[in-house]
Amino acid sequence: MNDIVNPVTLVDRSFYFIIGFSFVFLFAITLVMIWFVIRYRRSKNKTPSDIRGNWILETVWVIVPTIIALLMFVSGWKSYTGLRDVPEGALEIEVTGQSFSWLFYYPDGKETENEIVVPVNKPVKLNITSEDVIHSLFIPAFRVKVDAVKGIYTYAWFLPDKKGEYFFQCTEFCGSDHSSMTGIVRVVSPEEYEEWINKKDEW
């Protein structure tokens, strides 16, 4: 299981890469702009110089931004495919959004409402649909955000690599009790999971 790349890493890497470049250019361009305003003000620079036709400059400002944009695309694409390519052997859970709660159906018939319990370090695939209007399953800790639409099955997957409790909620305004469509992903040890899944009457 350890060779699975957690999409959280890929999404975060892409995010910081893009926001990092954006900040670098924001500050660099602002500083150069301020410097130009002062250095080339009318009183100091009566006749503006013409730099048209400088092929070195033009090549640089075409090639450098193209490379940066392509790198952004590659990192974004990697995080996208990371989120879409489900690893082998994932635990599959059927997810139904309904007005106004989330229902989860486990392979052995177990059902839960507004709570997912999963064993640590095992990839989890969620097959998502809706009973009525459009809902959207958002689990920020795992960078999962997928619409639930009646008549259509979509999916998402995540790798719960740390035990703990992770919040999720509906992020499609779906009606009067939309705000109550929240829940918890409980990531537990494989032993605790086995014990939980075999307790038939608790839910």
According to CB under 5 A, which one of 95, 118, 126, 174 is a site residue for Cu ion?
174
Query: Taking the CA of residue 47 as centre, how many other CA atoms within 13 Å lie in the half-sphere pointing to its CB?
Result: 2
Could you write out the three-class secondary structure of 2-30?
CCCCCHHHHHHHHHHHHHHHHHHHHHHHH
Cα–Cα distance, 3 to 166 (Å, whole number): 23
Is residue 79 within 8 Å of 72, Cβ to Cβ?
A: no
Is residue 203 within 8 Å of 110, Cβ to Cβ?
A: yes
Nearer of residues 174 and 187 to Cu ion, judged by Cβ: 174
Which range binds Cu ion by CB under 5 A, 30-38, 48-56, 68-76, 166-174? 166-174
How many residues bind Cu ion (CB under 5 A)? The answer is 4
Minimal distance in Å, beta carbon 178 to Cu ion? 5
Minimal distance in Å, beta carbon 95 to Cu ion? 12
Minimal distance in Å, beta carbon 144 to Cu ion? 15
- The interface mask with Cu ion, positions 126-165, x = CB under 5 A, is ---------x------------------------------
Is residue 185 within 8 Å of 118, Cβ to Cβ?
A: yes
Using CB under 5 A, which residues numbered 13 to 32 contact Cu ion? Answer: none
**In the complex, which residues of this chain contact Cu ion (CB under 5 A)?**
135, 170, 174, 181
